[in-house]
Amino acid sequence: MTETETLQMIFKNFEGRNTTISVADPEPELSSEEVEAVMSSIVTRNVFDTTGGDITAMVRAQIVSRTVNTLAEFS
């Protein structure tokens, strides 16, 4: 069994569509205030380009946990 976590930061872009920036294995003690500060900086600095244009607003941040149970492995 393998467990992973991913931080998903979800934003609105210029066209009004959601766009997600994902970070694998976020620090366990990461606070919502720290994530909000990073997301705010991403919007303010406009450093990412999306297919729908510039990132214009923060929508939400979430931690997604995933568990994989391997039934069989083949060479």
Is residue 29 a part of any domain in this protein?
yes
- To the question of pTM greater than 0.85 for the whole model, the response is yes
pLDDT value at residue 75: 86
Number of helices followed by number of strands (H, E) in the chain: 1, 4
Element (H, E) at 3: strand 2-13
In a domain, 73, yes or no: no
Average pLDDT score over residue span 69-74: 94
Q: Which residues of 43-65 are buried (b: 16+ CB within 10 A; e: fewer)?
A: beeeeeebeeeebbebeebeeee
Whether 32 is covered by a domain: the verdict is: yes
Q: What type of residue sits at position 31?
A: S
25 inside domain: yes
Cα distances (angstroms) measured from residue 66 to each of 2, 25, 52: 8, 11, 28
Domain that holds residue 63: 2-68
Q: Number of folded domains in the chain?
A: 1
Q: What is the pLDDT of residues 10-67, one digit of tens each?
A: 999 999 999 999 999 999 999 999 999 999 999 999 989 899 999 999 999 999 999 9
